[in-house]
Amino acid sequence: MEDVDVVIIGAGSAGLSAAKVLRNAGLNFRLLEAMDRIGGRAWTSDAHFGVPFDIGCAWLHAADRNPYFPEAQVSGWTLHHHDMNIDHLYYRGRKASEAEEAQVKAADAAIAALMESHSGDDDRLGALLAKGRSSRAAATFSGPMDFGSDEDEISIADFKAAADLDPNYFTWEGYGALVARFGADVPVELSTPVKRIHWDGPGVACETERGTLQARAAIVTASPAVLAFEEIAFSPALPDAHMTAFFDLPMGMLTKLPLEIRGTRLGLKPFDDLLVERVARHDIYFLCFPFDLDLMVGFIGGDFAWEMSAAGEAAGIDFAVDRLCELFGNDSRRHVGRAMMTDWGAERYVRGAYAAARPGRAEARSILAQPVADRIYFAGEHLAGPLIQTCGGARLSGEQVARQVVGQLQR
């Protein structure tokens, strides 16, 4: 492999945007991707339901700051404004009363105020939340469903630093398809996992099965879990602070359980949000019939989602279908068609949904924002400032780090 100015590892949202900045600055680069496609966690596929379905990211969060949003608008993408509200709340099989729904909304505001007023040491988010049933329903969205982690595994400081992601938009064509289109003109070496990065010489040498690539600097966009598992090894080892930071940013989990529902809408409207709270914390959220498609998309998050990965797809689908039967009667089972379960935990080159700092360890993100020896830079959703965990944030992180690299190399 010929030598270049910069090697970028990973052709997800962050890697693709970094490549474009380097190209515009006139630097030459190689973008190496382990998978056989670009997009990483942004991936739209019609293989399951015959219509575009986002296996990974789906909502264009923070549309007013998300560079993908104006591009989708200009391209005539079909967009639907969808800020999440709980339209239907169930406690196990029982529909919550109006008073209970009002309590949840009040709890939502109370949690926001608690967060705002919190000062002092970092702690578990769970320690901040009252244990009442209504506040737990409100916290389900912010914890397992949004952060991909249970409240006891979330750092208050990390949670507070994340922006409110409204306004949110959903797209019929698929967020993954939007990212794939964004990256279509970027040259990428697919199916080329980087095994090791040597940085004992003047620049970096990236070992792959197809050869070793020499560059002046590397931008590494793999998730912190991929790095903690040493899918990419470093010679010499990275400083302890960086290795500890990978460990302190474990991946949360969000799992989708889309069910095709034929011949009925179960009294629900397109884009309704339905939440089922269960005593054992096995909560499930359904996005109902987006774009009036025959789909109810179940979501489970946090520890429960990791447990479901171990239980397997059949158990996941059974769980989602059983919940529908609990709410709408056993007859609803006969309306269920195709179904699947996403499993990002099993994806070797991602290993989870997105990163969330351990309680007390929120500074892990700023540690990873520091380059190593002015030649190894990290970028991705985990380093996206207030837009952490989002695809738009990953893109902004890739751009920002690439500008830093340009500044360093053109010095």
In whole angstroms, what is the distance from residue 178 CA to residue 173 CA? 8
Q: Say if residue 236 is preceded by a cis peptide, omega within 30 of 0.
A: yes
Q: Which is nearer to ligand FAD, 7 or 327 (CB)?
A: 7
Q: Which is nearer to ligand FAD, 44 or 221 (CB)?
A: 221
In whole angstroms, what is the distance from residue 253 CA to residue 239 CA? 27
* Residue 399 · residue 221 · CB < 8 Å: no
Q: Which is nearer to ligand FAD, 138 or 353 (CB)?
A: 353
On the CB side of 289, CA atoms within 13 Å amount to 14
Write out the H or E segment, with its range, that includes residue 117. Answer: helix 98-117
CB of 109 to ligand FAD, least distance (A): 23
CB of 303 to ligand FAD, least distance (A): 16
CB of 79 to ligand FAD, least distance (A): 14
**Angle, vertex CA 315, rays to CA 311 and CA 319, nearest 5:** 125
Separation of first and last alpha carbons in the chain: 26
Q: How many CB atoms lie under 10 A from the CB of residue 156?
A: 24
Q: Which is nearer to ligand FAD, 32 or 317 (CB)?
A: 32
User: Which amino acid is residue 180, in one-letter code?
Assistant: A
Q: How many CB atoms lie under 10 A from the CB of residue 204?
A: 23
Phi-psi map region of 201: left, alpha, beta (phi>0 left; psi -120 to 50 alpha): beta
In whole angstroms, what is the distance from residue 216 CA to residue 199 CA? 10
Q: Which is nearer to ligand FAD, 164 or 279 (CB)?
A: 164
CB of 328 to ligand FAD, least distance (A): 25
CB of 333 to ligand FAD, least distance (A): 26
Q: Which is nearer to ligand FAD, 327 or 341 (CB)?
A: 341
> What are the structure tokens assigned to 192, written together?
């080329």
Residues of this chain that interact with ligand FAD (CB under 6 A) are 9-15, 32-35, 40-42, 56-59, 61, 193-194, 221-223, 226, 231-232, 254, 256, 342, 344, 349-350, 353-354, 380-381, 389-392, 394
Nearest Cα residue to 389 out of 348, 352, 342, 343:
352
Handedness of CA 146, 148, 153, 154 (dihedral sign): negative
Q: Which is nearer to ligand FAD, 54 or 135 (CB)?
A: 54
Q: Which is nearer to ligand FAD, 332 or 390 (CB)?
A: 390
CB of 56 to ligand FAD, least distance (A): 4
